[in-house]
Structure 1
Amino acid sequence: MSATPQPNASGDDGLGWRFWCLVPVTGIAAGLAVGLLVLLLHAVQRLAWGEGDAGFLRAVEAASPAQRVGVLALGGLVAGLGRLAIRHEGTHAGGFTAAIWFRAGRLPFWPTLSQAVLSIVVVGLGASLGREAAPKQAGAAFGSLFAGRAGLSPSHRRLLAAFGAGAGIAAVYDVPLGGALFALEVLLGSVSLPLIAPAALTASLGTAVSWLMLPDKPTYAVPAYGTTAGLVAFALLFGPVAGALSAFYVRLIARADRTKPSGRGTVLTPLVVFAALGMASLAVPQLLGNGKDMVQLAFTGEAAPLALLLVALLKPLATAACLGSEAPGGLFTPTIAFGAALGGLAGAGWGLVWPGAPAGAFALVGAAAVLAATTKGPASAVVLMLELTRTLDTAIVPVLLAVGGAMLVARFLEPRSIYACRIHDGMRRAEEAGAPAISAAARYPDLLRLLALGGAVPRVVGEHGEDVGEVSAERALHPRRDDGPLATAAAGDFVLRQVRG
């Protein structure tokens, strides 16, 4: 035994040399895929909107009413037909989030890549959704493919898929550390010491490789705002309000995800929703796209209070409507836009009471607080905002105060994140059947506690309550080294008998 124990020594991390060999390969593949996807996004935007150096919002504002409605209607038609085709290939819109835990990161490679391409096209045509879904899916698809080909355990495959997704986010926004933390904190729910190094390596390689096709610069050009007493007081008061509104936003997203169309509605619903969004954009052009340009204006204090009010009220509804129509896309930038609009609007009122702080600083605080409260990832949210702006450190104290207040309220009102709320929980149906059961996504410690109670060995149920198999109590109680890190293991990883069909 060592005479000077090191508290942060991880010892045998259970990852293995095969896993470590696939980490850089996954990062490189994710970076290349992201570069190609972003080039496709820009090509679609130029073709549909004639976007130039002025940006997407300026191009939309310059478009005629017929062009706005027509392009959005085309986007709805593409989304509906694309989703119908991909569904026939054996996947579904919320498949990525559920796959991480319910299917141990097992993703159908070509359908997942097809959905990533479809997502980029739909976002380029003006959907009120984020572009990060496509890079996240592409990176995860490569991680899942490599792990499967190498014969790695379910726990290893889950890790590699999550790290690939983190590398995708890191590459598309040039946020290597934020992408790594997003994979750990939001997707895996565990910032475990042995996992930090592979997550960071995957994300940094993905970001570096993407520079072959994408520029190395911050997403938002923001001046370095200083910290004032008024800004600190604002953060203390705004944080809980942001948490409450974030809980409402998460429930709105969850409700939209539960009302997705079926049958003929798969094609008709997105066509109608997108056409209506195009008509709404005649009055509020900021509703189109992921909201990046509006966020830039809010962060520099150039957004008018009326524009902030309209975005705060209508952008969440537009995003939920697009998501509810089953159009593929992300929630990252639309969420930041919602938070920036809230912060900027509240800051405009606060400036009348306590003047002195720049208008853009309030929007930055609001964006960070809402992003943290909706993703349930405070550390990753702060780091992401730091890397997106590369100047947020000058106002880090009010940002952290707002994030802390928002997290406290949001966890109490709505413990789910904007990603977890889209997963269907089949446990209620299993519990109604009366037999002892455990969710395939249940954490390993929860499985151990259930086994420790004795009685019948529980059966494992999937996302929709389907029977997955029976737990191998022997293997769960005495896991092998190649089972991978138990910090991210789930009950489904220890199934003795797989149920097909």
Structure 2
Amino acid sequence: MVIPPILARRDAAGFWLTVLLTGIGTGLGASALTELLELVQHTLWSGNGIDLLQAACRAAAWKHLVILLGAGLLTGAGQLLVVRLSAANSIDITAAIWFHAGRLPTLRTLGSAMLSILVVGMGASLGREGAPKQTGAVIANVMSDRVRLSDEQRRLLVACGSGAGMAAAYGVPLGGALFALEVLRGERALRFVLPALLTSLIATGVSWAFLPNAPTYLIPPYTGTLGSMVWALLAGPIIGLASVGYVRAVAWVDHHRPSGPRRLAASAITLTLLGAISIVFPQLLGNGRDIAQLAFTGQVAPLLLLSLLLLKPAATLLCLGSGTPGGLFTPSLAIGALLGGLLGVPFAHAWPGTAPGLFAVLGATALLAATTQGPLSATVLMMELTGQARAFIVPMLLIVALATLIARTIEPRSIYDARLSDAEVLKRQRQRDPV
């Protein structure tokens, strides 16, 4: 069975019913996971009514060590428990879509999602979007089994469910749909676009019943200038090269994760080390949303930009390499904001007139586009996350295009291909870009 592009087909009812149920289930799941993350943060960090960064700045040094040690022990024990609960092998969402017809081990994937939310809420330097994405993918897979959809339909719906999880978690319906198509599925045909749009739209609409309908990042009304376009021409290739190094580092640490009982020691040591460093640099805790917000508004001093640009990627890679589950979307966005902000410092002295925060916004979008190899989805996601971009869309598109072109020319792998072997990456590339 192919993807039914219209309703007037005999096999269309089951497919579109699955789209509806996947959207509803993903919206509810993303809302529950977001509420759980906030509950963990507020309970452990005493941050009721304030963000994680403010709570961590006020917390005593011993709390940093104790909470992160607890997160490390929970990670190790949770990973061992998840393995025991399900005999099925762990399958990454990207690998499931491309090489397993979208099939995922239900219990193991949901267990990993729950563990991810808990440890990110405790301060692990990874993204919170991983859990809603996994939840949406699992719901789509289970619904596909119930309705007995074809492998091709299941593959698409798992991508749609994963994108809908991101859409519901951040309130970005169009960006989530494009992410599902451009980054996960690799195609934007009309028969794929409609299911992706509907799944993300439904999931986001459901989540708005429980979560605030507001931009994730609040930025001033920036305006694109001639200086920002010149900076985009200069910074685009630099960010593209930085993206290549970051993607390769993600792939390397992912392939060298500890296994078996070593997971407990590795995660405990790594996250305790993160807790110790966070006493001085609390900005390293969590997914990076707080420090990105400060960078987007030009509130980070140059020396701190440089320090965090070195430490934030290291913290994220250490957490990932220790086996800690979590996403890479928001940490990558934060790293791009730091890099863009830092590259903007000397340029602002040589060519005044561009707001410092705009460099961070453009850098974040460019790094996100280059590391995911999704230029359209990254651009739309940033527009939805900030609630604006029309005034500076030209330098944004310019830097996104340059960074993605450089990155994709050198490295075919994205951060979401990290678990794939070289042979699988080559196979996927041939499927996506046939000669």
Which TM-score applies when normalising by structure 2?
0.95
* CA distance in 2: counterparts of 1:168 and 1:232, whole angstroms: 34
1:52 matched to 2:48? The reply is yes
Q: 1:218 aligns with which of 215, 223, 243?
A: 215
**CA contact 2:6–2:12 (8 Å) conserved in 1:** no
1:379 matched to 2:388? The reply is no
Q: 2:133 aligns with which of 121, 133, 136?
A: 136
| Alignment partner, residue 259 of structure 1 | 256
Cα 1:13–1:50, aligned 2, differ >3 Å: closer, same or farther?
farther
**CA contact 2:65–2:276 (8 Å) conserved in 1:** yes
**CA contact 1:91–1:112 (8 Å) conserved in 2:** no
Letter in 2 for 1:108: P
Q: 2:358 aligns with which of 341, 358, 361?
A: 361
* CA distance in 1: counterparts of 2:313 and 2:424, whole angstroms: 29
* CA distance in 1: counterparts of 2:134 and 2:261, whole angstroms: 26
Cα 1:370–1:91, aligned 2, differ >3 Å: closer, same or farther?
farther
1:443 matched to 2:409? The reply is no
| Alignment partner, residue 433 of structure 1 | none
| Alignment partner, residue 165 of structure 2 | 168
**CA contact 2:7–2:13 (8 Å) conserved in 1:** no
| Alignment partner, residue 335 of structure 1 | 332
SS of 2:137's equivalent?
helix
SS of 2:418's equivalent?
helix
* CA distance in 2: counterparts of 1:439 and 1:292, whole angstroms: 34
Letter in 2 for 1:443: Q
* CA distance in 2: counterparts of 1:252 and 1:445, whole angstroms: 24
Deviations 1:270-299 (A, max 9, x none): 000001111111221111110100000011
Cα 1:177–1:280, aligned 2, differ >3 Å: closer, same or farther?
same
| Alignment partner, residue 69 of structure 2 | 73
Cα 1:69–1:386, aligned 2, differ >3 Å: closer, same or farther?
same
| Alignment partner, residue 6 of structure 1 | none
* CA distance in 2: counterparts of 1:46 and 1:273, whole angstroms: 23
Letter in 2 for 1:267: L
| Alignment partner, residue 468 of structure 1 | none
Letter in 1 for 2:67: V
* CA distance in 1: counterparts of 2:432 and 2:343, whole angstroms: 43
Deviations 1:2-38 (A, max 9, x none): xxxxxxxx78999733211211110000000001001
| Alignment partner, residue 35 of structure 1 | 31
SS of 1:80's equivalent?
helix
1:63 matched to 2:59? The reply is yes
**CA contact 1:94–1:423 (8 Å) conserved in 2:** no
SS of 2:102's equivalent?
coil
* CA distance in 2: counterparts of 1:397 and 1:209, whole angstroms: 33
1:314 matched to 2:311? The reply is yes
Cα 1:441–1:341, aligned 2, differ >3 Å: closer, same or farther?
closer
Deviation at 1:54, TM superposition (A): 2.6
Deviations 1:80-132 (A, max 9, x none): 11111112213566532321222111112222211111110010010000000
* CA distance in 2: counterparts of 1:80 and 1:93, whole angstroms: 16
| Alignment partner, residue 460 of structure 1 | none
Aligned residues: 429
| Alignment partner, residue 83 of structure 2 | 87
Cα 1:444–1:364, aligned 2, differ >3 Å: closer, same or farther?
closer
**CA contact 1:69–1:275 (8 Å) conserved in 2:** yes
Letter in 2 for 1:131: R
**CA contact 2:91–2:105 (8 Å) conserved in 1:** no
Cα 1:441–1:267, aligned 2, differ >3 Å: closer, same or farther?
farther
**CA contact 2:233–2:402 (8 Å) conserved in 1:** yes
**CA contact 1:13–1:194 (8 Å) conserved in 2:** no
**CA contact 1:86–1:92 (8 Å) conserved in 2:** no
| Alignment partner, residue 152 of structure 1 | 149
- Structure 2 unaligned residues grouped into runs of 5+: none
- Identify the structure with bigger relative contact order (alpha carbons < 8 Å, sequence gap 6+): 2
Q: 2:204 aligns with which of 203, 207, 216?
A: 207
Letter in 2 for 1:41: L
Deviations 1:444-492 (A, max 9, x none): 997xx9xxxxxxxxxxxxxxxxxxxxxxxxxxxxxxxxxxxxxxxxxxx
* CA distance in 2: counterparts of 1:91 and 1:349, whole angstroms: 52
Letter in 1 for 2:176: G
Which 10-residue stretch deviates more, 414-423 or 337-346?
414-423
Which TM-score applies when normalising by structure 1?
0.82
Deviation at 1:231, TM superposition (A): 0.8
Alignment of 1:221-236 (within 5 A): 221-236=218-233
| Alignment partner, residue 487 of structure 1 | none
**CA contact 1:100–1:187 (8 Å) conserved in 2:** yes
Letter in 2 for 1:115: S
Deviation at 1:211, TM superposition (A): 1.1
Deviation at 1:424, TM superposition (A): 2.6
| Alignment partner, residue 301 of structure 2 | 304
Which 10-residue stretch deviates more, 104-113 or 225-234?
104-113
**CA contact 1:94–1:422 (8 Å) conserved in 2:** no
| Alignment partner, residue 498 of structure 1 | none
Deviations 1:180-216 (A, max 9, x none): 0000000001111211111000001000000121000
* CA distance in 2: counterparts of 1:217 and 1:427, whole angstroms: 39
| Alignment partner, residue 414 of structure 1 | 411
Deviations 1:346-381 (A, max 9, x none): 111110000111111000010000000000000000
> RMSD of the alignment, in Å?
2.1
Identity over aligned pairs, percent? 48
**CA contact 2:90–2:108 (8 Å) conserved in 1:** no
Cα 1:106–1:427, aligned 2, differ >3 Å: closer, same or farther?
closer
Which structure has the highest helix share of the two?
A: 2
Deviations 1:379-422 (A, max 9, x none): 00000000000112211011111011101110122111000122
Which 10-residue stretch deviates more, 177-186 or 76-85?
76-85
* CA distance in 1: counterparts of 2:213 and 2:365, whole angstroms: 22
1:282 matched to 2:279? The reply is yes
